[in-house]
Amino acid sequence: RSAPRLALSARCLRRTMPVPSHVTRGLRHGDLLFAAEPLDLTTPLYRAIREVGLSTIRWMRERGVVVNEETTSEHVALVVDDASGHPVSVVEAVHLLGVRTAPLQTFFDTFEPGTKFYHGRVNDTTAQQRKAAVSFAMLRCGAPYSDDFSPPSELATTPWTQAFYCSSLVDYAYRHALGEDLVFSPEPFPLAFEPRDFWEEYYRGQGQEVPKGFGSNPTLLLHSSRVTAELIDLAAPPPVEEFHEMF
């Protein structure tokens, strides 16, 4: 993935305005929610996290993927509907906590002020396929977080003993639902840790090596040709018809 959820592991609950109803009405089962936090680029860690995202975009462009803007993302989750078809929660893989569900409001509340959110839809999917993707992820609630960004083990005896990071949960959920080996990239994506010197020193300080192999990251999914994404404006006033209903 583009960067470890370093910025997200210490998130504190911050109350915000309730998620507007016109935002939730636009969400559907199996949609993607992306978070792009405001990174303090005066610090080496956040500069490195940003560079990981930018290197991902360069990799995509080199392979013919059209990326119109250099927005990077640090987290992605799947939208979950209730029995009546209303979006009420997300299923996500979170550092330290693993795979879990969280109320939709909590998803938005737990990020830094100034975070930009994007609503993504996986193109050309049926309701049944989106349901299958969500079911895959939900069956893995309680699974550990993949700190080394390795893919879920095929040797795991139960779904909840497989390990996931945020984008790998979404990636493998849709691989399963669509029956495809690759969904969000034209070829296997090599884990990007740039600048290399910074990440080698960072992981050395933790007694680890820089993760290797192939995987995914939120920025990769955000700009994938298989995803249509748009900025969510939480501060936008309700549509006129909704305003009239209030009075």
Strands (E), 175-213: 189-190
pLDDT confidence tier of residue 240, bands split at 50, 70 and 90: low
* Contact assessment for residue 107 and residue 183, using Cβ atoms and an 8 Å cutoff: no
Q: How confident is the model at residue 247 (pLDDT cuts 50, 70, 90)?
A: very low
What percent of the chain is predicted at pLDDT more than 70? 88
Report the mean per-residue pLDDT for the chain. 88
Residue 223, pLDDT > 60, answer yes
C-alpha to C-alpha distance for 88 and 118, rounded to whole angstroms: 17
* pLDDT tens readout for residues 48-103: 999 999 999 999 999 999 999 999 999 999 999 999 999 999 999 999 999 999 99
- Tell me: pLDDT of 149 over 60: yes
How many CB atoms sit inside 10 A of residue 206's CB? 8
Give pLDDT tens digits for 95-121.
999 999 999 999 999 998 899 999 999
CA nearest neighbour of 131 among 85, 76, 75: 85
**Per-residue pLDDT at 1:** 41
Over the stretch 16-34, which tens digit does the pLDDT of each residue have? 567 777 788 889 999 999 9
**Structure confidence at residue 21 (pLDDT):** 79
Confidence class of residue 245 from pLDDT cuts 50, 70 and 90? very low
**Whole-angstrom distance, CA of residue 160 vs CA of residue 156:** 8
- The pLDDT value given to residue 235: 75
Amino acid at 16: T
Instruction: Say how far apart CA 106 and CA 80 lie, in whole Å.
Output: 13
Residue 33: predicted pLDDT:
98
**Residues near 16 by Cβ (< 8 Å), separated by ≥ 6?**
108, 109, 113, 234
